[in-house]
Amino acid sequence: MARSALLHVMTQAAMKAGRSLIRDFGEVQNLQVSMKGPADFVSNADRRAEEIVHQELSRARPDWGFLMEERGVVEGSDPQHRWIVDPLDGTTNFLHGIPQFAISIGLERDGQIVAGVVFNPAMDELYTAEKGGGAFVNDRRLRVAARKSLPEALFGTGTPFLGHGDHAGYLYELRQIMGETSGVRRMGAASLDMAYVAAGRLDGFWERKLKPWDVAAGAILVREAGGFISGMNGAKFDHEIGDVVCGNEFMRKALSDQIALAERKRTAAAQNG
């Protein structure tokens, strides 16, 4: 597949950062025997990868700004363009030696995501998409799964954890969706979950209150693979808000309907005391 100059810049930055992460991943696996060190080590690995991405993209497009997980907002002189970067999506997996993590780079133009790259260096899988150009993994064209039966569907999700999210509300959603489908997977890296929807490995994915760098690249992967994406209750998807429901046209609606049903059940339970 011949990539555009823009995607070439993005993929080169992601792959260079990926080589840094893989070196650090080998080291962090050796740190698991110790109670000291791994968390600090991983945060350093994260910052190294982000610095690589920042340098590579700044060299190619010096006027463009950034929204980065570690650095935050970096203003550019071109107000139309902004890179949205997560240098290590799946930090907890990385910390525990689980090879499910990625570098995620999205490009925002006038507030819209127009290109995205998600690279899992541990699996050597490079997902790319550009508006109007389709979605690919390692140069193979992607299409979302065609299933239209909830009992056959496999969904991905992100779960609340210590100090984050609405645990009680999420359990209603999980109970509802578990009872209607063939399974739910929580793999710990939203950008890869959305890439898996684009690849047809998952029939859909939902999660609340993600950050822009978690979803920017994944969103365009899903759309360019023929999928649909929204916020909760069918709201228009907004990467700044970060609520995600996605899949093929049928599955996105069916998943959204199940989430809404779970919300109604929770409300009824609260009213009944």
89 annotated as ligand-binding: yes
Going by C-beta distance under 8 Å and a sequence separation of 6 or more, which residues neighbour residue 97?
Answer: 25, 28, 29, 32
Phi, psi of 147 (to 5 degrees): -60, 145
Helix (H) or strand (E) holding 249: helix 249-271
86 annotated as ligand-binding: yes
Nearest CA to 108 out of 210, 198, 216 is that of 216
CA 270 to chain centre: 33
214 annotated as ligand-binding: yes
Contact by Cβ (8 Å): 258, 180: yes
Using DSSP's 3-state secondary structure scheme, residue 200 falls into coil
Provide the total of helices (H) and of strands (E) in the chain, helices listed first.
7, 13
* Residues tagged in the binding site annotation: 69, 86, 88-89, 214
* Residues tagged in the binding site annotation for Mg(2+): 69, 86, 88-89, 214
